[in-house]
Structure formats: C-alpha cells, structure tokens
Structure 1
Amino acid sequence: MGNGSAGAAPCNGTGLPPAGGHNIAALVLGIVLILLIVGGNGLVCLSVCTERALKTTTNYFIVSLAVADLLLALLVLPLYVYSEFQGGVWSLSTVLCDALMTMDVMLCTASIFNLCAISVDRFIAVSIPLNYNRRQIDLRQLILISTTWIFAFAVASPVIFGLNNVPNRDPSLCQLEDDNYIVYSSICSFFIPCPVMLVLYCAMFQGLKRWEEARKAKLRGSIYGANRKLYHPSTFIEREQTGLEPEECNPYARSDHPGDYVMNNGIQTVSYPHLKYPHPGHSRKRAKINGRERKAMRVLPVVVGAFLFCWTPFFVVHITRALCKSCTIPTQVTSTVTWLGYVNSALNPIIYTVFNAEFRNFFRKVLHLFC
C-alpha cells in the first residue's frame, strides 16, 4: 500500500503515506476504528434480531448495511492497518493483496447498493402503501437485499479473477493496477447509484407529503361528518327516545365516550371507536402506518448524507488520479479522504442512536449491563 502514487484504499485503491518506517498513528487510529465499527454495528444487528419493535422491513435493510460495515472492519481494515503500520509497504503475498482489493471494492459497493435498495423499498412503501408488507420481510425485500450483494461482487470480481496480474507488477505495493477498471468501478459503485438514490428519495418524500395531506383531509372530513350526524334533528329525536343527555352524544364530551389520541411525529390525531365511521379500521391503519413510516424515514436522509459526506471526496480524488496522469495530488490529501471513507462505517450506529428512540433504548439497555 502506498508509494506516493497508489495503494490499497477503500473501494479501489489510491495513494497512501510514503513507504518506510512504522506509522504508529495509523495503528492506533485503525484499532480504535475497528473496535467502534464492530461494537456499533454488532449492536445494530443484535437489536434487530432480539427486539420485536425493531423487526421492521426497513431495519432488515439496515442490518444488511451493518453487515457490510462489520465485514469491512473484520476482513479489510486489519490488513490495511497492518500495511499502514509498515509505512505503506505490502510485505504479504500478491494473492492476499488481490483478495483484499476485492473485498474492499465489494464491501464499499455493497454499502451504497444497500442504501439504494433502501431508497427503492421506501419509494415502493410510499407509492403503494396498502399493498406493502410492513410486518415482516417478504420476497421483494429478499430479492432487493440479495441483488445488492450479487451486484457488489460482480463489480469487484475482476480483481480476484486476475485483473491485477499485469507485467512488471511491483509486489511491494498493494493497489489496483488497471486505470480503466478504476474508472469503471468508481462509476458503478458511486457515480451512478448516488443520483438514482437521491432522485428516489426526492420522489419518496413528495409522495409522503401528498399522502400526509390526503390523510389529514380525510380525517377532518370524517370528524366533520360525524358532528353533522350528531347534531342533526333526527339525532336529538333518537336521544329523547333513548334518554341520553346531550353531552353523551358529543364526541368531545368529557369522557363517557373517550377518543383514542395518537401522536404521529408531533401531530395529534383522534379516532372515536363508538362512532360509525366509514371503514374505521382502514382509517386507523393508515394513520398508524403513517406515523411508523415517518419515524423510520426520518433517519434515512441523515444516513445518506453522512455516506455522501464521507465518500464523495474519496471518489473525486480517486477518479481524478485515474483520468489525469499529470495531476499531482498530495499524499496527505489522499490519506485523509481514505480514512474519512472508513470512518463512515462507524457513523451509522451513532446516527441510529441519536435519531431513533427504539435503537437508543436498546443500546442504553445493553450498555447498562456492562457498566
């Protein structure tokens, strides 16, 4: 890894610190990062497997994303940190180097493909909400998750199948040897999925906004219709025959017929089970689904934003080096964007903890067992 021109780095290999000497800072940073990634993403997987409230379709995609980060920490980072500690010199076999490059490209690609799969799944959930299975993972979601990993391996497979076996290969460097492949893998792993993902999220939130407006209008219409029925003259005739007092017929009266209040992300909705709404179960189901969907979707833009913040600099530097042979990019810049990309794998569990109360409660419960 690294001779000032190219080395093993996330998702396609770029330059790293000059060879020679022991890089103690890289060793310490690498160990801390591995522990954070394994601990945080391990808790994410454990929480979804053990907590019933977290067994949602969105969270199964989050588990797939967490698995990609876990594998990165267990299979890629130790070898990367070891080489960095050696000053960027690759002292192991070229076969192991190719395996490392393959896993590096595949796991980085799997991360962004998982984010794309989440955006597709959320778009479907908003576009056809009543036909979407929210209770358990179904065939559509299994196909989406499987496809992300199959495509990620397809992008990375040329390396393990001999792409790096070029004449005059320097065995002291672990890097991708083909510039055309660097451009191809960068486009497939980042520059195509990102715009697709952003377009889907924009369409999803537009659909969610229309859904919310329609739901509120329907709820207002239902309550207005119920009030008209309650205060219609025939209703009072009926009250006199049954002996009910006026407040007993009023859904807003103090509590002979209390309403069911539900908070949906700060919006209070109310249903009155004793009134004969048209399709009351359907109305309450839509309201409940809407609240859960909005809670789940709130965290996704933050996850995507963090991914783009961490990986965009790397891919810009990475593809620039491959396309512009005359461009000189300082080693410090390349090293910084490389580590920034790796740091993203530790961020997602922190984001879930901050923005999702259910994950936060589980993490707190687990930490209390060890503290």
Structure 2
Amino acid sequence: MADNFSDLINESLPAAPVSHYNFPALIFGILLIITVTAGNVLVCLSVYLEKALKTTTNYFIVSLAFSDLLLAVLVLPLFVYAEFQGGVWTLNMTICDGLMTMDVMLCTASIFNLCAISVDRFIAVSIPLNYNRKHVDYRQLILLSATWLLALAVASPVIFGINNVPNRDTRECKLEDNNYVVYSSVCSFFIPCPIMVLLYFGIFRGLKRWEETRKAKLRSSIEACRKLQRSSVVGGALPPMMGTIPGALPMPLPRIIERDLAQSRMDDSGDYIQQEIPYPRQYRENSVPTVRFNQQQVKKRAKINSRERKAMRVLPVVVGCFLFCWTPFFVVHTLRALCLMCNIPDALMSTVTWLGYVNSALNPIIYTMFNTEFKKFFKKCFRSCC
C-alpha cells in the first residue's frame, strides 16, 4: 500500500527539468556565423573597392556571396538556436515559417547563382566576340534577376501557408508538406545541378578546342618568322613588308612563342605593346625598320584571356564544393519525404544540414586560394589592418 501511495505522489509531481542544451552546436554555430559573415563581406567589399575586380564574373560571385551573407544573418542564428535547444522549437510558428521561407529561398538562390555563372561562362566561350567582359549588359542583368526571382518563386508556397497543416507539432520547425519537399528539392537542386555539369563540360571542351587552335597558329607563326629570317639572310635584302606579317602572331618573338607554347598560356600585360622581330645583325646595324604589332589586335583574336582562364579554374572548385556539401542534404531530405516508413535519425538530418551550411563559409576561402586578384586584395586588407 505504501509503495502504491508513493508512486501516486510521484506521478502527480511535475517532472524535473532535464538539461538538453547542445553547447557544441552553439559554439560551432557561432563560429560558422562569424566565418560566413566575415568572408562574404570581404568578397563584396573587394569587388566594390578594387577596380581590377569589377568584372562580369565577379558580379555573379558577389550575388552568390550576398545570398550566403543573408543566410548567415537571417537563417543561421535561428537554426543554431533550435540546435542549442536540442532540436526543440520554442518560438512562434510564424517565425518558423519565415525561417523556412528564407532557408529555401537563399539555398536556392545560391545554387541558381552558380548555375547563372556557368551559363555566363558558356556564353563567353561559345561567342566570345559578342561577350562583354567589363560591363554588365542586359543578358547578364536578366540572369542575375532570374536567379533571385526563381528562388523566391520556389520558396513562395511557404509564405502562402503550405506549412499550416492539421495537427501540426509546434515543438518542431520543418517543412510539413512532403509533396512540397520533393518539389522544392527538384527545383532547387536536382534540375540545376545536371545543367551546371553539362555546361561546364561544354565549357572545357570549348577551351580544349581553343587551346589546340591557338597552338596550331603559334606553330605556323613560328615557321613564318623563321622563313622570313632565312629569306632575308640568303637573299641579302629584307623582303618588302607592309608593316606586319600575314597572320599576326599571338606572341611576336619566336623565342617567346616557343616558351609560351611550352607553358600553354598567353601574356596578359598591357593594352598596347610594341614588339620587334629580330633580324640578322647587318640589318639591325643598317637601321632596318622593325615590324610592330598592336597588342590589342592580338587580344581580339584570342577568344579567352589568361585572367578568364584563371576564373575558369576557380569556378569548378566552387561548384564541386557546393555539390559535396549539399548533395547529402537533398538526398536525405527527399528520402525522408518519399519514404514515410524510413526511420532517418535526427542526428543524420542535423549533420547533413550543418554540412550544407558549411558551404557558405568555404566559398570565400576558395576565392582566396585560387583567384589571384582576390588574394591580392585580401592580403592588402590584412596588412593594413594588422
């Protein structure tokens, strides 16, 4: 009887509060927010302040950095708060719906910005003569606007109340409609990513063809210079010239041409450089006119300059990191919506979500490591500050 009475008392008393705060998630989340904010602010400021960085590609990178910055300001603090509470949502459900809207929109904007960059680069390789490298034209404005408008369109059902389902659990903040989960995942990830991969495949095929054509022209230019020199030595007189050699050389000096051919790159210095073809000493002593070349004409003949090829190397790294960070999330997220009988642990869902957010901190690091112009600006900023 005594035992039954004590059990009754214990059942009537409120349960003792159990500490379920996730302090590691709080510390990691704060560090992630600081890293994402600082890195992407630096990217935006560098393009705004540095004239050499005001290029078309970098405007798309600024749009990507801006979406990551908004993610750090509007989404990550609330996500860190929920993780610190052990995954239990204690705030208003209106705030939850706002969080879900911004999360879907900004993650979608990030991948759409990467897709827009690949489209822009594909156009630059396919029709380089009609591509504006220095100023944003209408086509690029349309691409930039479309990324944000489409991202807003994907996230808009949450704004219009698709999360307001019957018997909604107010202790958990998530997307409630499984059909919308599949729809948003397909629109945000599973359609744009294959498009990006195909575009980059086409870009690198175009670059390979361009390199082969350039090398062939370099070889023919080398032979033209050598024949000109041999004919001038044997004939004893310099052949008549019209100020240039047929088929202007990408690099005028044969020695520089051969070095350039070995290194598979072009010099990207100066708008106009007067360069000379060496002739035998007797002709130089008699002050024979030298052949001069306009570097601007050389650049017009080239489809892509070396600065753009440097950008081409960094962008696939950005895309690769994005796919590595976000693919697990979208696969697990979609699987949980499609397979209602599957038991996906909360710890796995939390891990893949963190991995996706880490991508927002990786992009500025990638720019620093692989892009010379960004690296120079960051070094200059750190030297002035420190």
Q: Work out whether the TM-score is over 0.5.
A: yes
The answer to whether the 8 Å contact 1:45/1:63 transfers is: yes
Distance in 1 of aligned mates of 2:306 and 2:373 = 14
CA drift of 1:252 comes to 5.9
Secondary structure in structure 1 of the residue aligned to 2:155: helix
Residue of structure 1 equivalent to 2:196: 197
Residue of structure 1 equivalent to 2:264: 267
Distance in 2 of aligned mates of 1:325 and 1:98 = 22
Map 1:338-349; keep pairs closer than 5 Å.
338-349=353-364
Post-superposition Cα deviations, 1:177-221, rounded to whole Å, max 9, x if no partner, equal 100000000000111111110000001100011011112212322
Whether 2:371 is the aligned partner of 1:356: answer yes
Residue of structure 1 equivalent to 2:4: none
Paired letter, 2:97 = D
Post-superposition Cα deviations, 1:300-356, rounded to whole Å, max 9, x if no partner, equal 111011001101111111000000011111222111111000100000011111111
Distance in 2 of aligned mates of 1:370 and 1:264 = 42
| Aligned-residue identity in percent | 64
Distance in 1 of aligned mates of 2:266 and 2:84 = 58
- For structure 1, the 5+ residue unaligned runs are 1-18, 242-250
Secondary structure in structure 2 of the residue aligned to 1:190: helix
CA gap of 1:321–1:220, structure 2 versus 1, over 3 A, is same
CA gap of 1:357–1:263, structure 2 versus 1, over 3 A, is farther
| 1:282 aligned to which of 278, 291, 297 | 297
The answer to whether the 8 Å contact 1:48/1:54 transfers is: yes
Map 1:135-284; keep pairs closer than 5 Å.
135-232=134-231, 236-239=235-238, 266-267=263-264, 269=266, 273-274=275-276, 281-284=296-299
CA gap of 1:240–1:220, structure 2 versus 1, over 3 A, is closer
Q: Based on CA coordinates, which of the two structures has the bigger radius of gyration?
A: 2
CA drift of 1:66 comes to 0.3
Distance in 2 of aligned mates of 1:134 and 1:264 = 25
Post-superposition Cα deviations, 1:35-93, rounded to whole Å, max 9, x if no partner, equal 00000011011111111111111111111000010000000011111122222222222
Distance in 2 of aligned mates of 1:193 and 1:370 = 40
Residue of structure 1 equivalent to 2:32: 33
Distance in 1 of aligned mates of 2:104 and 2:113 = 14
CA gap of 1:278–1:226, structure 2 versus 1, over 3 A, is farther
Distance in 2 of aligned mates of 1:328 and 1:315 = 16
What TM-score, normalized by structure 1, do the two folds share?
0.84
The answer to whether the 8 Å contact 1:317/1:334 transfers is: yes
Whether 2:325 is the aligned partner of 1:310: answer yes
Distance in 1 of aligned mates of 2:275 and 2:69 = 47
Map 1:37-56; keep pairs closer than 5 Å.
37-56=36-55
Distance in 2 of aligned mates of 1:311 and 1:60 = 23
What TM-score, normalized by structure 2, do the two folds share?
0.81
How many residues align? The count is 340
Residue of structure 2 equivalent to 1:330: 345
The answer to whether the 8 Å contact 1:264/1:291 transfers is: no
- For structure 2, the 5+ residue unaligned runs are 1-17, 241-251, 268-272, 278-290
CA gap of 1:307–1:238, structure 2 versus 1, over 3 A, is same
Secondary structure in structure 1 of the residue aligned to 2:161: helix
Distance in 1 of aligned mates of 2:184 and 2:51 = 38
Map 1:6-25; keep pairs closer than 5 Å.
21-25=20-24
Distance in 2 of aligned mates of 1:367 and 1:233 = 56
Secondary structure in structure 1 of the residue aligned to 2:44: helix
Give the structure, 1 or 2, with the largest relative contact order (CA under 8 Å, sep 6 or more): 1
